[in-house]
């Protein structure tokens, strides 16, 4: 007959702090190993549930009457209780005890003293003696005790390696975990009888069920609960470090669940790396106080899994021993790659979230397990479609940016990229994609202006059109459309807009692998840190200089402005730009990212999504000037020859003279203007000139012609639809 099972809510166990997370694992492990092998546990609403043959009273009675503490020792540590200068009260009490529940502990302590005697150690072993002692422990400890060693250290060809969870082998700074663990045992239990001290009964209820109790002791819990660590600024409630002794015991009982294993990472240059469950290198990104300095002062990160379905301890240990999260069939090496693996459904064990912890140096030599963020496991395969093609570049840039000998601008750019990726992993909306696109543009700009960085990092490979599709919001974004229009500028001989931002080899402009030019003073690179309008004007001038320099190939050939593009700006969007009703800084930031797109391969369906405003139409000065700078014939073979003087006059602020020259040029091309000269404020004149850089369709140029070119009166009296829609020329002047 199957025994009745009970579901118990352990409100004293939570994903944060780490001590309470580990405590949940410890309870499940102890109940499974010492009472009910079929016991199950799961997380729900930030609390841990236990299902077993024990009800609440039965669980409490188990810890009070049956529980046998796992023997945890570290004879290789100073302060562990095995050396004359150590605090030895607790280790001697257990060694000399007669309580049945401590019998295994007595045996292991005696074995450790024997191993120390055999190696002739009367004090803490030095760095040369320590590996031998660690190996002796592995060879002589009972099999059931090896898991404690696996959780604490790993012996490799390069010496012992230590997972971040337990410091440097059950030691963190001045806090030696195993000696403190034995002290807590002696405070809770009578070492002669094994009975629980009276004051420890209420603290057990507090530890399990979060009930109020007195009996906390003044001691340290180490890195596992920063809020209880004590000291200045560590807690706003109590400046002293006071802990529940049961919390300390159960916390370390849970830490044992994690075990290390040595693997060869084919993607790593290191001879051997430590593979610890869900442990990755730290990234100073993705949380409020993030800083690149956190990476240098960190013992990596651990992502603690949360699972919603009832699971046995065997199932949980299988999950943790595999630590399975994969990115493109490889184990993720840092927190950003881990988050990507989650989004790409690289976990397959029923995990619905991860609590991210960073082991940060915060107090002298002590580390704190700082809860950084909660990440839900969400399917976001679109993310990998965007990032996977630039993985090699990103890995190289990350390596270079983290080198303190390289410019700080690279580290800032890397942090923005990693923050954007982490945010995409959680939400994956258009704003996150835009942020990542902008961050990539900033990284490219930082590399482009630094010869030192250009020697080490190649240009970002051209991005696919998927970036446009996923970065553009459903409700529209005028700044995105204007930036996209500029970024799509291209000319068979003059090249893409990207060449004016960074020194690229001409033959690689359109290849999948761009290369930096060896010419550090490329005159075509004119985009600087100035205003958007100023830079657009400089690019306009430079492209005109280039096309005139190349000249006509034959007498019959017409010379057009090199202002064609893949995506044509709408006249309504251009009018808003000229009026100053847009965010220039946003356009600039987006533009740096959008020039990285491979515009030649962008599909028309993608461009059709970027529907711009049709109204208002740009005012007359723009229409007059733009008709003189078209990328092709206007209509019926009408060619309006280029006249650089028009651009020079307008750029200098003399819009009246510029429009007068434009009107003269139009008249000479058989297009008599309805107005000869137009005045406007200097700021508007500057924006009008910059707006000439936006590519437009010939059909849009026809609309501009209807605004400023005089037409013969029609023979009938019917209204012209275009005239009705556009209004009179006086309205636009």
- DSSP-assigned states of every residue in 702-724: HHHHHHHB--PPPSS-PPPHHHH
Give the pLDDT confidence score for residue 554 in this predicted structure.
52
pLDDT tens-place string over residues 363-372: 555 678 888 8
* pLDDT at residue 1 is higher than 60: no
DSSP code of 244? -
- Percent of the chain predicted with pLDDT > 70: 86
**What is the rounded average pLDDT of the residues 508-536?**
89
Query: Is residue 139 helix, strand or coil?
Result: helix
Give the pLDDT confidence score for residue 360 in this predicted structure.
79
* pLDDT at residue 733 is higher than 70: no
Best-predicted range by mean pLDDT (122-136, 226-240, 310-324): 122-136
Q: Which of 110-114, 184-188, 696-700 has the lowest mean pLDDT?
A: 696-700
Give the pLDDT confidence score for residue 348 in this predicted structure.
56
Higher-confidence position of 426 and 415: 415
pLDDT tens-place string over residues 596-646: 999 999 999 999 999 888 888 888 899 999 999 999 888 767 888 888 899
Note if the bond before 17 is cis, omega within 30 degrees.
Answer: yes
Per the prediction, the chain carries an average pLDDT of: 85
Give the pLDDT confidence score for residue 321 in this predicted structure.
72
CA dihedral 163, 168, 171, 172 (to 10 degrees): -90
Give the pLDDT confidence score for residue 686 in this predicted structure.
93
Q: Contact at 8 Å (CB) between 673 and 661?
A: no
Give the pLDDT confidence score for residue 240 in this predicted structure.
58
* pLDDT at residue 260 is higher than 60: no
Give the pLDDT confidence score for residue 234 in this predicted structure.
39
Burial 659-677 (b: 16+ CB within 10 A, else e): bbbbbebbeebebebbbeb
Give the pLDDT confidence score for residue 58 in this predicted structure.
97
Write out the DSSP string of 59-126: HHHIIIII--PPP---TTSTTSSSSTTS--HHHHHHHT---GGGHHHHHHHHHHHHHHHHHT-SS---
Give the pLDDT confidence score for residue 685 in this predicted structure.
92
- Alpha-helical (H) ranges within 218-322 are 245-255, 293-296, 313-322
Tokens encoding 349: 């064990």
The Cβ-side half-sphere exposure at 82, using a 13 Å CA radius, reads 26
**What is the rounded average pLDDT of the residues 449-477?**
93
Cα separation, 632 vs 424, in Å, equals 42
* pLDDT at residue 720 is higher than 60: no
* pLDDT at residue 277 is higher than 50: yes
**What is the rounded average pLDDT of the residues 11-39?**
96
Give the pLDDT confidence score for residue 232 in this predicted structure.
40
Give the pLDDT confidence score for residue 259 in this predicted structure.
73
* pLDDT at residue 514 is higher than 60: yes
* Structural Rg of the chain based on CA atoms: 35
pLDDT tens-place string over residues 125-170: 998 999 999 999 999 999 999 989 988 888 888 888 888 788 889 9
pTM of the predicted model, to two decimals?
A: 0.79
Give the pLDDT confidence score for residue 61 in this predicted structure.
97
Give the pLDDT confidence score for residue 266 in this predicted structure.
35
Best-predicted range by mean pLDDT (20-24, 352-356, 664-668): 20-24
Cα separation, 396 vs 388, in Å, equals 14
* pLDDT at residue 235 is higher than 50: no
Higher-confidence position of 667 and 713: 667
Closest CA relative to residue 658, chosen from 672, 674, 676? 676
């Amino acid at each position: 007959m199957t025994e009745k099972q009970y579901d118990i809510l352990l409100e004293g166990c939570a994903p944060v702090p780490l001590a309470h997370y580990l405590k949940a694992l410890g309870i499940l492990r102890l109940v499974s190993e010492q009472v009910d092998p079929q016991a199950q546990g799961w997380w729900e609403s930030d609390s841990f549930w236990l299902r077993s043959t024990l009800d609440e009273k039965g669980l409490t009675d188990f810890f009070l009457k049956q529980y046998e503490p796992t023997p945890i020792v570290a004879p290789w540590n100073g302060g562990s209780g095995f050396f004359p200068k150590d605090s030895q009260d607790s280790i001697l009490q257990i060694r000399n005890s007669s309580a049945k529940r401590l019998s295994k502990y007595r045996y292991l302590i005696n074995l450790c003293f024997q191993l120390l005697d055999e190696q002739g150690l009367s004090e803490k072993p030095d760095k040369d003696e320590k590996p031998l002692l660690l190996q002796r422990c592995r060879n002589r400890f009972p099999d059931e005790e090896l898991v404690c060693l696996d959780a604490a250290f790993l012996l490799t060809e390069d010496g012992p390696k230590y997972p971040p969870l337990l410091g440097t082998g059950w030691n963190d700074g001045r806090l030696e975990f195993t000696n403190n663990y034995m002290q807590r045992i002696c405070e809770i239990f009578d070492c002669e009888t094994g009975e629980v001290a009276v004051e420890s009964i209420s603290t057990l209820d507090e530890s399990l069920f979060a009930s109020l109790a007195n009996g906390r002791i003044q001691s340290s819990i180490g890195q596992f609960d920063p809020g209880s660590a004590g000291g200045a600024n560590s807690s706003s409630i109590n400046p002293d470090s006071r802990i529940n002794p049961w919390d300390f015991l159960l916390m370390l009982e849970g830490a044992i669940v994690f075990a290390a294993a040595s693997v060869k990472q084919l993607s790593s240059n290191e001879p051997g790396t430590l593979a610890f469950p869900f442990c990755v290198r730290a990234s100073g990104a993705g949380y409020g106080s993030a800083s690149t300095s956190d990476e240098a002062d960190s013992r990596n990160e651990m992502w603690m899994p949360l699972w919603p379905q009832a699971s046995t301890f065997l199932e949980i240990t299988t999950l943790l021993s595999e630590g399975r999260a994969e990115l493109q069939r490889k184990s993720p090496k840092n927190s950003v790659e881990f988050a990507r693996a989650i989004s790409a459904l690289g976990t397959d064990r029923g995990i619905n979230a991860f609590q991210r912890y960073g082991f940060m140096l915060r107090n002298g030599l002590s580390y704190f397990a700082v809860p950084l963020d909660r990440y839900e496991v969400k399917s976001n395969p679109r993310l990998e479609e965007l990032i996977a093609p630039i993985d090699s570049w990103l890995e190289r840039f990350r390596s270079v940016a983290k080198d303190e000998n390289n410019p700080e601008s690279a580290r800032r750019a890397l942090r923005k990229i990693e923050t954007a990726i982490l945010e995409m992993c959680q939400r994956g909306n258009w704003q996150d994609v835009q942020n990542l696109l902008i961050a990539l543009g900033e990284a490219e700009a930082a590399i482009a202006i630094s010869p030192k960085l250009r020697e080490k990092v190649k240009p970002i490979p051209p991005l696919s059109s998927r970036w446009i599709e996923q970065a553009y919001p459903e409700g529209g974004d005028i700044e995105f459309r204007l930036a996209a229009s500029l970024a799509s500028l291209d000319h068979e001989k003059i090249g893409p807009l990207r060449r004016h931002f960074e020194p690229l080899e001409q033959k690689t402009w359109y290849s999948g692998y761009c290369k930096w030019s060896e010419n550090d003073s490329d005159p075509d690179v004119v985009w600087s840190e100035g205003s958007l309008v100023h830079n657009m004007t400089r690019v306009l001038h430079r492209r005109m200089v280039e096309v005139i320099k190349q000249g006509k190939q034959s007498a019959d050939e017409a010379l057009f402005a090199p202002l064609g593009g893949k995506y044509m700006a709408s006249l309504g969007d251009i009018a808003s730009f000229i009026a100053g009703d847009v965010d220039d800084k946003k356009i600039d930031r987006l533009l740096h990212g959008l020039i990285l797109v491979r515009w030649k391969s962008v599909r028309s369906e993608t461009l059709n999504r970027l529907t711009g405003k049709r109204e208002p139409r740009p005012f007359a000065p723009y229409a007059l000037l733009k008709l003189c700078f078209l990328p092709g014939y206007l209509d019926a073979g009408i060619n309006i020859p280029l006249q650089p003087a028009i651009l020079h006059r307008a750029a200098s602020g003399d819009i009246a003279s510029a429009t007068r020259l434009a009107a003269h040029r139009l008249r000479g091309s058989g297009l008599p203007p309805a107005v000869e000269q137009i005045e406007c404020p200097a700021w508007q004149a500057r924006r009008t000139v910059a707006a000439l850089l936006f590519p437009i369709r010939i059909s849009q140029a026809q609309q501009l012609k209807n605004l400023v070119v005089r037409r013969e009166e029609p023979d009938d009296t019917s209204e012209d639809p275009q005239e009705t829609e556009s209004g009179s020329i006086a309205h636009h002047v």
